[in-house]
Amino acid sequence: MSEPPPPHDPVPGEQPDDQPSRPPAGPPVAGPASLGRRLGAGLIDVLLLSVVTSVVSLPLVDWDRVLDPDSEETVTYSAGEGIANLIAVALVFLYFWFMTWKYGQTLGKKALGIRVVREEDGGTVDNSQALSRAGLYAVLVVICCCVGGIVDVAWILWDPRRQAMHDKVARTVVVRARPGTPDPYVSR
């Protein structure tokens, strides 16, 4: 029988065998969230954001022009309406970014018991993941006139991990947040 080789000093940049090379794994996850829960959470968020963006945007609309039955204008935006649209996009982006980064849940996800975690280990989503997830979602849903949002949500139907495109880009998954499963975001 031969003896194992003697230990060697680590090469710069190499991790010793007894130390992990990446952050420790997050808490155990309860499995992917169902399509119904994800759609329900999305509906709650859309309704909430519709109310908020309407309250902010509607005062900027040129109602005389919009409601004029004699107007022969095609659909064009006034400066106020353009600003209203930019505000709406910014609010959608900020809502999804902040809530995902800080809590791992939007209000809709919290209501339906699901949360966003890192794909690799179930830990908390970092800021860059939350930014890329919210950014792609805002582009697909708001800027692409909802068609992108439909494709994004439909992706969940055939993806084995029930990931939408914005999950794939950000390397996140949406999981059940069952009672008794530790919340990785509690320390934020």
| Contact between residue 85 and residue 147 where contact means Cβ atoms under 8 Å apart | no
Categorize the per-residue pLDDT at 52 as very low, low, confident or very high, splitting at 50, 70 and 90: very high
The pLDDT of 40-69, averaged and rounded, is 85
Categorize the per-residue pLDDT at 120 as very low, low, confident or very high, splitting at 50, 70 and 90: very high
Of 22 and 149, which is predicted with more confidence? 149
Q: Is the pLDDT of residue 7 over 70?
A: no
Averaged pLDDT score across all residues of the chain: 82
Q: Where are the domains of the chain?
A: 35-61+77-176
3-state secondary structure 51-104: HHHHHHHHHHCCHHHHHCCCCCCCCCCCHHHHHHHHHHHHHHHHHHHHHHHHHC
The one-letter amino acid at 79: A
Cα(50)–Cα(35) distance, integer angstroms: 22
Q: How far is CA 72 from CA 62, 63, 64, 129, in A?
A: 15, 15, 13, 46
Q: Is the pLDDT of residue 59 over 90?
A: no
147-158 and 35-57 are packed helices; what angle lies between their axes, rounded to 10 degrees?
A: 160
Q: Is the pLDDT of residue 127 over 70?
A: yes
Cα(180)–Cα(114) distance, integer angstroms: 13
Cα(12)–Cα(180) distance, integer angstroms: 41
Q: What pLDDT score was predicted for residue 19?
A: 46
Q: What pLDDT score was predicted for residue 64?
A: 74
Q: Is the pLDDT of residue 26 over 60?
A: no
Of 175 and 138, which is predicted with more confidence? 175
Q: How far is CA 83 from the centre of its chain?
A: 24
The tally of CA atoms less than 13 A away on the side-chain side of residue 120 is 10
